Structure 1
């Protein structure tokens, strides 16, 4: 290997889990196996050093000036990248020193264009009163971190599925490490790292967070959670190779006032992604998201993901939205301003960690100019402060500094505004206007000597010189004055037809020009470094300010959305019946053809009518009705207006949804098993204060099993939980349960039926359906008429058989009522020891049992 290749191999040995990008001049090079990987990922040419030797060395590289676009692709695939820069003086013929200055990972890569959260998480095991497992997680680019504790590894996995971190750091001592890794690989695309927790967690955190006591962050760094954050922080420090400067908050996440919303419900309600080809376009979030900034986009995501039953907080959010509905001109004015903002927390992180780029500084400057247009106290800042009051004076002062310092459309070589610094102006005049200085000096010589043909030229290996003809050289020398540095001509070179001269003044100009650019670069960097230090000191305030901007974006944009789409303010409280009048499904309504109107429906529930069995045809709108009401309940618990004519929503402690179907091949789970697991989760966690929707349970098994399970689940809900439940089923036989339970009521999809056709009205009305209309749905789907005719014949035979065997009860289920004879027989059998019973005794017992049945 060459010395450079040996250096590469030594660094690669320290970063075995990374692709090592090795700075060589204007390129980042890779060698050996890394080169093959890079070539494959980026579809770039794989070359070889010593190609004709027995052991050629694979090579692949990318230009350093465009490396960001390549890094993004590498990171998205799930690789870590170590950046090795030249840190020593470049001396010809000597190997320059190189060091890894940064490690880029999926959880720490700073992408200024990404609007969504990019979480990185750390997990440790530490049995305590507050849980057995503790995680710390956050978005590195935003500086927001959270800690949470769990009792079981299953709860941890469920939470990871919900927040979907791009990277997870697992404590090397975690006992459940293998189980956790297996589950992550099944459900997530997260990059897994195994790492050590710092020995003295308390001291480590105090030092790196610059605090006197962990109490500064309250419960966030107590009860074992300090260990998880120490693990995460140590990983961030190891990858960034510098202090973590933008930590704006570390919060403890508890379940107080939280409405349970697990990953199954999020998926089944299609909140962030539609089941239709995984399209985000057809999700609830996509339909209601009209935010105009990355800050607002993330804030709406956070609000929807974390519903609350804190009535005071919900009413405060609803008040904000209602204000913008009532003041559309103000809403539109604020929206127009927010559209011109860049993602401030992302810009801050890039400037602190990635690169001190003038282009990024300009974006930050422009954003502050929009916010503080007209001064510190304007319509935008007033509304931002109405969400969370804080002192903006330092941020305003910094924004003015940026406006004064950063020029419009800066370049990498020139970014400080003219007039900001006198020395920079002088150096810039010399560095970039040298031709003007030379021309002015040439005119001085012409005026002094009268020689029109005198020229000042530049050659790289000679520098600047004055050139004249042989004829004019004598005249030039007549004006030579050793006392005047502008005209102390000294001959430096004689050519065939020209003479070349220099002067003290020309040498000074040359020295100024050659050093001006270097001085200018240093001076501009000093100013930018000073701005960076100010930014670091203000990072916490700026992030908190940006958080309020995110809320304002949500409230103003949603106010405009609700006004245009006729959404209303829900009345939410801790008591009372649930009543939704003219409720609509927001996603279906959005994508209906222009010639169709959505059919709204009402819902009324109370303690005497807490469980609704909804029967009717599959095409009738049962699933839509279930989902739209769950979505309305969810939106109300986010403090957001809802698609309805009127809505009275009592607070709930959880929203649970089981709809649709799907297997999990990786876990060898069939559709039916997956369905039962999700139902079990609901029944084990729901309370009387929960809201549940269950759609078509029992389809994945036989008719008898399906009906039996559906019936028993309804009975369990009615007898043991009594939560507000919408239960849609094609088993119309279940409507008999209304006779047995006072809290169960029957509803069905209205159908208009004639001899020639069946029309599904998509209207929910009281009473149960007496048939399933499956063949009519098949007709709508376009099945061949031969199949439809045969189906009619088969149905007629089954119905006839059901009549003939009515006593057997083709669809009827055994009674669950108490039978005293059965209990006596059961007791007798339980008391009988078969091994000690003679054949005669057995016959006697059997005869007694027969007699008991006769009684």
Structure 2
């Protein structure tokens, strides 16, 4: 077997260092791929597979893509889970001796994308690093914006972590940040991560510490609050090291570290985020149907990303929550200022990602002009903010840098419509640099001279169609068609013969050509050098620009929340630390938004940490139990992010966690049935909830037999009320659980009101005190359109089951039970007078006091149900 060609030897040597990547090897105007990379890429990219002589008997498989369109191809490779190494020519091929020097200048992975065309503008793209050793450290970064976060162990003292699932907290945090890529010192227990995982070697602690200190150019970790956080140090160092190895360029925009503790935020596990449909619907779709979509009136990409972060990380600090609410309220009450701010924000591009590209060195003149346009409106924005007096806006006003110097620098230097390329000239304004102006004058004068020479030669020679042209190979020439060759003067020097003409030069033309071409080359070179200096000047102000970008994002989010409040008729919640939630006429923010032809029926809620900790809610399917419970959770969550809420009024206590268990599905990949998933979720809640938590539990125990399910539900209610003492909304079909109201003083019964007519039901969507004593499954099935024969047979079977008293262990004695046919004789005066119980008289008095002329239909049904409930309990 012969040796490989020198070029292929170079390729294989570079490929050896990047075995896990698709290597894009620059050859002229193309990026080529060879061998296995070519076989893979040709299928993924759907491009032709060819071959190239490589010094072996068989040609090397090869495919390639044009350099000017490479971003689209890289994007497709990344989307299909591949890493891409970009190998560039490091010297001018015309000046190279032997093989052109080449090397990898950057490795692109799912977590290190900076190209805007490959990113969702209102979503972060995180690269995460997990370090596991007894505890764990977690760091994650969006290199397109420079955002960097680090945490460690995530407040283990606040949670119960079993040996079997010691990574549950890490799993939840990873689920929240949803990274595109993860690196780790181990993959043993990381099967829960859907992202691409890369295992990395771990340097010593001293080396890790040195990596961090060098990157941030500091002498101590104390300023970050990380001095004693070993796992965090390992995680952050591995992350920075990975970035240095893959990006091979400046990371100056990653200059701030946010070291946080999960205890700072209201805890939401992955099930809760999914069930409440905060960012995505339960079907994984973004947009309509999510809380984010309801609140998103942001005008900038930066604001959109920050709004998502606020939704996923609600605050727990009462003062910070009220500061946000104060700011939103001020904009809510000043619609004109809010509209002016909105208009100012519309002209602002994604400054965070613009400055990142500037730092990376892959921006062009259009990017700088986008930054200039973004900066242009900042003085007006600052004037609008100066009219606001809430503390948050005062702070923003003081910190908001209008970046006038950045605007002037770009405005003075970059032409209004620069080309995309930065090495072909035409990018720097006249008047910015005197040397460039002189060279440019030479080229302009020279080209004018050429035009004048053409006119002069036509007149002197009599060759009417003589013209002067130019090609890169032959330079300037005089072109004469063959019909005029007899008029060509002797001093013309033949340069090229074509089919229908001859091309000539003159000593005078050659001399001017040298001046013009030299000036053109000098001008392009100088423009490129000036552009790099301008870029460097802006790069040196990265901290200022990033700070301004963040303040703009905060203003955008606060204004978005105020616009949502105005458009959706929200009100400001009153936050308290007294442990109770009181909501008057609360509504579901998402459902009421997507309802078109119906009016959303509001409901009240009261729950506290004393006598009213748990509400047991009964009622048929589709009546609105889940919607009601979700809306309470969403109203509480909105309050904690500093948003107004869909309610007439509300008082919301500060919570530490919100848990929801609504619906379940199989997880067959993990060998878990629907019921197993349900029990796992309940277990997580019971192990981690506290008396300051809000629990939303829907149909616990439905995945197994009636007796088993009812037993589990009963026991869960007792455990929560007696041991955890969390505020809980508990929806169930087991109406037997309503007996717990008399057994547990902190339990209250509620039901969803319905209207029954001719064996059919109408959902009133209203919550009222009391409970239902039977299910309505057959009626709901009828509404769903089951065949009449099926419905009729179901009724027969139900009658037989009722007679067998299937739920006897949990039923009252028949002599103490009131059947559906029981009717109180309300107006039997003798019975009232002879009764030792005053309840009959109170019942009739309630009826007599009803003002029938001032009762709405919905209120009438409510009153009727209340009266029936009182009668049944006499």
- TM-score, normalization: structure 2? 0.84
Q: 2:112 aligns with which of 105, 108, 115?
A: 108
Q: Is the 8 A contact 2:146 2:255 kept in 1?
A: yes
Corresponding residue for 1:4? 7
Q: CA deviation at 1:450?
A: 9.3
Q: CA deviation at 1:9?
A: 1.7
Q: CA deviation at 1:75?
A: 1.3
Q: Distance in 1 between matches of 2:674 and 2:88?
A: 52
Q: Is the 8 A contact 1:395 1:538 kept in 2?
A: no
Q: Distance in 2 between matches of 1:53 and 1:228?
A: 45
Q: Distance in 2 between matches of 1:398 and 1:421?
A: 17
Q: Distance in 2 between matches of 1:139 and 1:470?
A: 68
How many residues in Structure 1 have an aligned counterpart in Structure 2? 779
Q: CA deviation at 1:421?
A: 2.5
Q: Is the 8 A contact 2:477 2:503 kept in 1?
A: no
2:180 counterpart of 1:166: yes
Q: 1:798 aligns with which of 796, 801, 804?
A: 801
Distance change (3 Å), C-alpha of 1:493 and 1:280: closer
Q: Is the 8 A contact 1:118 1:166 kept in 2?
A: yes
2:645 counterpart of 1:642: yes
Q: 1:202 aligns with which of 209, 214, 217?
A: 209
Q: CA deviation at 1:200?
A: 1.4
2:755 counterpart of 1:752: yes
Q: CA deviation at 1:360?
A: 1.8
Q: CA deviation at 1:445?
A: 7.0
Distance change (3 Å), C-alpha of 1:509 and 1:215: farther
Q: Is the 8 A contact 2:226 2:233 kept in 1?
A: no
Distance change (3 Å), C-alpha of 1:77 and 1:434: farther
Q: 2:599 aligns with which of 597, 600, 605?
A: 597
Corresponding residue for 1:835? none
Corresponding residue for 2:265? 258
2:563 counterpart of 1:560: yes
Q: Distance in 1 between matches of 2:414 and 2:537?
A: 15
| Correspondences of 1:777-796 after superposition (within 5 Å) | 777-796=780-799
Q: 1:692 aligns with which of 695, 704, 710?
A: 695
Q: Distance in 2 between matches of 1:462 and 1:197?
A: 59
| Correspondences of 1:82-97 after superposition (within 5 Å) | 82-91=85-94, 94-97=98-101
2:677 counterpart of 1:663: no
Deviations 1:203-230 (A, max 9, x none): 2222232222222323388443222111
Q: CA deviation at 1:31?
A: 0.9
Distance change (3 Å), C-alpha of 1:213 and 1:51: closer
Corresponding residue for 1:365? 372
2:368 counterpart of 1:356: no
Q: Distance in 1 between matches of 2:432 and 2:666?
A: 65
Query: What secondary structure, in the 3-state scheme, does the structure 2 residue paired with 1:642 have?
Result: coil
2:349 counterpart of 1:335: no
Deviations 1:642-672 (A, max 9, x none): 1111111011111111111112122111111
Query: What secondary structure, in the 3-state scheme, does the structure 2 residue paired with 1:227 have?
Result: helix
Corresponding residue for 1:574? 577
Distance change (3 Å), C-alpha of 1:372 and 1:94: farther
Query: What secondary structure, in the 3-state scheme, does the structure 1 residue paired with 2:585 have?
Result: strand
Q: 2:317 aligns with which of 310, 321, 325?
A: 310
Q: Is the 8 A contact 2:322 2:642 kept in 1?
A: yes
Q: CA deviation at 1:193?
A: 3.7
Q: Is the 8 A contact 1:88 1:96 kept in 2?
A: yes
Q: Is the 8 A contact 2:137 2:151 kept in 1?
A: yes
Q: Distance in 2 between matches of 1:298 and 1:626?
A: 28
Q: CA deviation at 1:470?
A: 8.6
Q: Is the 8 A contact 1:704 1:811 kept in 2?
A: no
Distance change (3 Å), C-alpha of 1:210 and 1:394: farther
Q: CA deviation at 1:379?
A: 2.9
Deviations 1:30-82 (A, max 9, x none): 11111121112222222233699973422111111111122122112221100
Distance change (3 Å), C-alpha of 1:730 and 1:440: same
Corresponding residue for 2:225? 218
2:132 counterpart of 1:125: yes
Q: Distance in 2 between matches of 1:667 and 1:280?
A: 30
Corresponding residue for 1:285? 292
Query: What secondary structure, in the 3-state scheme, does the structure 1 residue paired with 2:257 have?
Result: strand
Q: Distance in 2 between matches of 1:381 and 1:77?
A: 49
Query: What secondary structure, in the 3-state scheme, does the structure 2 residue paired with 1:48 have?
Result: strand
| Correspondences of 1:692-711 after superposition (within 5 Å) | 692-711=695-714
| Correspondences of 1:431-510 after superposition (within 5 Å) | 431=443, 435-442=447-454, 457-458=468-469, 460=471, 462-464=474-476, 492-493=493-494, 502-503=506-507, 506-510=509-513
Distance change (3 Å), C-alpha of 1:258 and 1:491: closer
Q: Distance in 2 between matches of 1:399 and 1:500?
A: 50
Query: What secondary structure, in the 3-state scheme, does the structure 2 residue paired with 1:410 have?
Result: coil
Q: Is the 8 A contact 2:8 2:54 kept in 1?
A: no
Q: Distance in 2 between matches of 1:125 and 1:193?
A: 12
Corresponding residue for 2:656? 653
Distance change (3 Å), C-alpha of 1:445 and 1:707: same
Q: Distance in 1 between matches of 2:703 and 2:429?
A: 70
Q: Is the 8 A contact 2:736 2:811 kept in 1?
A: no
Deviations 1:368-402 (A, max 9, x none): 223346xx954368879645355666832112111
Query: What secondary structure, in the 3-state scheme, does the structure 2 residue paired with 1:586 have?
Result: coil
CA RMSD of aligned residues (A): 2.9
Q: CA deviation at 1:291?
A: 1.2
Q: Distance in 2 between matches of 1:266 and 1:62?
A: 42
Corresponding residue for 2:140? 137
Distance change (3 Å), C-alpha of 1:372 and 1:191: farther
Q: CA deviation at 1:754?
A: 2.7
Q: Is the 8 A contact 2:458 2:466 kept in 1?
A: no
Q: Is the 8 A contact 2:338 2:559 kept in 1?
A: yes
Deviations 1:132-175 (A, max 9, x none): 2111112111111111111543322221122111111112xx4x
Query: What secondary structure, in the 3-state scheme, does the structure 1 residue paired with 2:715 have?
Result: helix
Q: Distance in 2 between matches of 1:665 and 1:501?
A: 81
Gaps of 5+ in 2: 157-165, 814-874
Corresponding residue for 2:384? 379
Q: 2:189 aligns with which of 168, 174, 179?
A: 179
Deviations 1:506-536 (A, max 9, x none): 4442123222332222212222211222222
Corresponding residue for 2:849? none
Corresponding residue for 2:58? 55
Moved more, 569-578 or 141-150: 569-578
Q: Is the 8 A contact 1:206 1:213 kept in 2?
A: yes
Q: CA deviation at 1:443?
A: 5.1
Distance change (3 Å), C-alpha of 1:65 and 1:295: same
Query: What secondary structure, in the 3-state scheme, does the structure 2 residue paired with 1:314 have?
Result: helix
Distance change (3 Å), C-alpha of 1:291 and 1:193: farther
Q: Distance in 2 between matches of 1:473 and 1:30?
A: 53
Corresponding residue for 1:421? 433
Q: Distance in 1 between matches of 2:804 and 2:495?
A: 122
